[in-house]
Amino acid sequence: MRRALTLSLLAAPLLAAALAAGGQAQQLGSDIPKTFKPVDGAFDFERRSVDIPMRDGVKLHAVIVQRKGLTDAPIVLQRTPYGAESATQRESSSHGAMTVRASDAMLLDAGYIRVYEDVRGKYGSEGDYVNERPLIGPLNGTKVDHSTDAYDTIDWLVKNLKNSNGRVGIIGTSYDGMMAAMALVKPHPALKASVPMNPVINTWMNDDDFHGGAFRLIGFDYYYGQDAAKGNAGDLWRDAYDDYDVFLRAGSASDFVRSHGLQQLPWINRMLAHPAYDAFWQAQALEDILPKQPQTVPTLWVASQWDQEDIYGAIAAYRAVSKVDPNHVNHLVLGPWAHGGANGDGSTLGAIRFDSDTGLWFRREVLLPFLDAHLKGDGAGDTLAPVTAFQTGSNRWQTLPTWPLACDATCTAPMTKLYFAGNGALDWNASTANGRDSYVSDPAKPIPYRLRPIRPTYATGSTWRQWLVDDQRPFSDRTDVLVWQTPALTRPVAISGAAVVDLLASTTGSDGDFVAKLIDVYPAEYTDKPEMGGYQLPVAMDILRGRYREGFATAKPIAPNQALRYRIVLPHANHVFLPGHRIMVQVQSSWFPLYDRNPQTFVPSIMNARPGDYRKATITVDYGGAHGSAIELPVVAAK
């Protein structure tokens, strides 16, 4: 106390003297310089931001990253709505490989120039943002789209990056994968390779927004974060911890939209206005558009067997373009991953392990050799098989001549059937005894799609990434889920393609959903990993909205109490059911809140259903005889 007082007394005359000498108090300037230039002599990379002009005068913001001293180098472009600047600032380091994710670090180390560009209207780019902007045509009357923007960007890069070799590849995952696919429409001559990974190809036909006609409620999180701000709008707010409660209390999809003000977002309004697969969606279907283009750009389509977001796109696009590809420039990879899993550690997914880092193997043994062959050479070194697929169950990579290896739902030859039978049995032979199993589906108590509490998609603690491999035992015991299974297998059963659950079923309602799950049941005691004993591993699962049983373009009511056929085509899988395991099929009528509840009363649009429309219904599945309910499996030889 005494010392502080003494210092104060001493400071007063000094301050007075300073004021007397200078005549006024010292003026303070800003501590922030107009520019700050890092001392980057120790950096092993160069990074710069540029604005690239498009044909309509709009400038798109891009970030260029490369090793110092690089010459005669190929370019790998990524076009993104998620922020080019942040993609190259993952760590603050003098080492370029630390500033980008692992897959990009591999490309930097291999001598590639990496370019990240904000799509028009997002982050640093000028222009208007249109979510999933359609290509020029009936839905886009302007003179620009993602194809022209890719063309103009590539043109600028090869003319202005003097240390490049003039060869460009484009790569991306999810939305960025869609950008890599759209660049194939009237491609720039310098585009020599494309890698669409888990791309959005048809957002109605089993990619992000609809599956089998059922609407994905959880997409509202994405569209709010993406469309409510030029950057990232953040997380959509909640009024409960468990999303099951949030969406059940809200009511219909439209009710949720109004309760959160989401009607301000044009894309959400467009989705609500087009619940069926009408001309709006059909005009944007890239699996129909791309085969009309000459197949000149070597393309590596990358799919994930357990992709929780875009499980449809890569395989659908590959199958479509490979039919008009005489020079075989298209390749397919199917890995044991979740969405984007090829970019990270692919050793495990949830409780499932694969005996190796499958993501690293793919990047080293497939991705880099493919890019090197076409971007550092003339393509002569491309020895990649048409299809490279990881076989789950046996945990090994396979090279295949085509996909699917077996016949599937689009073939004229029959697949191998497992017939539903009494006492919950699945049998290789059709039973001569007819039977029926029933359950009551209550929209007031829908079946959760993963264990509760269900956290929002991107929330801390969310299991969104792994839910497609979650143990299904918590659901198989419910009274509103039907279960059939084989005895323990005495020989391996391998499938390669898309299985189909062929239901002969009736409902007391005039509408309804059918969810089908193909499951690998582990032995009750499992030596390799005891905690996996009895695990019910989903191999493939999906949903069909009953109103679309005759076609997705037009909704039709279901005739109550009439046995009708419902064919649920499951996602593609490359899997072997091992001896000692069982093959199981589960059937149910809700999957909430991944998909909106079907009121089970026919209404013009389920998205606008009112509280009184939601009613219980009894669903009955018929079996027995050659035309009874069954699952059709794309069986191949187990090697």
For residue 321, the SS3 value is helix
Residue 273 to residues 136, 263, 266, 607: CA-CA distances in angstroms?
A: 21, 11, 10, 9
CATH number of residue 547's parent domain: 2.60.120.260
DSSP string of 53-88?
Answer: EPTTS-EEEEEEEEETT--SEEEEEEEESS-HHHHT
Q: Judge whether 586 lies within some domain.
A: yes
Beta strands 493-507 and 513-521 are unpaired
195 close to 299: Cβ distance less than 8 angstroms: yes
Buried b (16+ CB within 10 A) or exposed e, 128-151: ebbbbbbbbeebbeeebbbbbbbb
Same domain, yes or no: 274 and 286: no
Mean pLDDT, range 510-522, rounded to an integer: 98
Reported as type and span, the H/E element at residue 496 is strand 493-507
CATH number of the domain residue 371 falls in: 3.40.50.1820
Pair 525, 380 in one domain: no
What confidence category does residue 1 fall into, taking pLDDT thresholds of 50, 70 and 90? very low
Residue 28 lies in a domain: no
Do 459 and 546 have their domain in common? yes
* pLDDT higher than 90, residue 361: yes
**Residue 566 half-sphere exposure toward CB, CA atoms < 13 A:** 32
Distance CA 415, CA 409 (A): 8
pTM for the model stands at 0.94
Residue 431 burial by Cβ neighbours in a 10 Å radius (0-12, 13-18, 19+): middle
Enter the tokens of residue 406: 């077996």
In a domain, 407, yes or no: no
Packing angle between helix 266-273 and helix 219-227, nearest 10 degrees?
140
37 falls in which pLDDT band (50, 70, 90)? Answer: confident
C-alpha pair distances (Å), 403 with each of 196, 288, 445, 537: 17, 18, 40, 23
Exposure string of 401-420, with b = 16+ CB inside 10 Å and e = fewer, is eebbbbbbbeeeeebbbbbb
Helix (H) or strand (E) holding 368: helix 368-371
Mean pLDDT of 6-30: 62
Q: How many domains does the chain have?
A: 3
Confidence of residue 393 (pLDDT cuts 50, 70, 90): very high
Last residue of a domain, one of 373, 400, 427: 400
pLDDT at 17 exceeding the cut of 60: no
Do 373 and 467 belong together in one domain?
no
Paired with 161 in beta bridges are: none
**Same domain as 546, residue 460:** yes
Same-domain pairing of 565 and 490: yes
Mean pLDDT of 455-473: 95
pLDDT at 11: 54
CA distance 616 to 484: 23
Residue 508, domain extent: 416-636
Same structural domain for residues 224 and 168? no
Asked whether residue 16 is assigned to any structural domain, the reply reads no
pLDDT tens readout for residues 49-76: 999 999 999 999 999 999 999 999 999 9
Decide which of 369, 400, 431 is a domain's last residue: 400
| pLDDT tens digits, 285-295 | 999 999 999 99
Same domain? For 340 and 368 the reply is yes
Judge whether 3 lies within some domain. Answer: no
pLDDT at 89: 84
List residues bridging with 65 in a β-sheet: 47, 114
34: phi then psi, degrees, rounded to nearest 5 = -60, -35
Nearest to 542 by CA among 313, 210, 304, 316: 210
Position 626 scores a pLDDT of 87
224-273 pLDDT, tens digit each: 999 999 999 999 999 999 999 999 999 999 999 999 999 999 999 999 99
| Mean pLDDT on 411-438 | 89
Q: 431 and 341, same structural domain? A: no
- For residue 30, give every residue at least 6 positions away whose Cβ sits within 8 Å of its Cβ, in sequence order, or none: none
Domain identity same for 228 and 189: no
What pLDDT score does 141 carry? 96
With vertex at residue 288, the alpha carbon angle to CA 283 and CA 290, rounded to the nearest 5 degrees, is: 110
Lowest mean pLDDT among 16-25, 321-330, 374-383: 16-25
Task: Tell me the pLDDT band of 7, cut-offs 50, 70 and 90.
Answer: very low
Q: Which of 312, 349, 355, 351 is nearest to 334 (CA)?
A: 312
What pLDDT, on a 0 to 100 scale, did the predictor assign at position 23? 63
Q: Which helix (H) or strand (E) holds 4?
A: helix 2-22
Cα-Cα-Cα-Cα dihedral sign, residues 364, 367, 368, 372: positive
State whether 353 and 473 are in the same domain.
Answer: no
Domain finish residue from 400, 433, 458: 400
> Which two three-digit tokens encode residue 42?
């120790």
- Output the average pLDDT for the chain: 94
How far is it, in rounded angstroms, from Cα 495 to Cα 493?
7
Can you give the CATH number for the domain in which 233 is found? Answer: 1.10.3020.10
Helix (H, G, I), strand (E, B) or coil at 315: helix
Per-residue pLDDT averaged across 381-404, rounded?
96
Is residue 12 one of the residues assigned to a domain? no
Same domain for 478 and 351: no
Do the domain assignments include residue 251?
yes
Residue 368 lies in a domain: yes
pLDDT at 618 > cutoff 50: yes
Strand partners, 303: 334
Kindly report, residue by residue over 287-322, the tens digit of the pLDDT: 999 999 999 999 999 999 999 999 999 999 999 999
Tell me whether the omega of the peptide bond preceding residue 404 falls within 30 degrees of 0, making it cis: yes
Q: Please give the pLDDT value at position 317.
A: 98
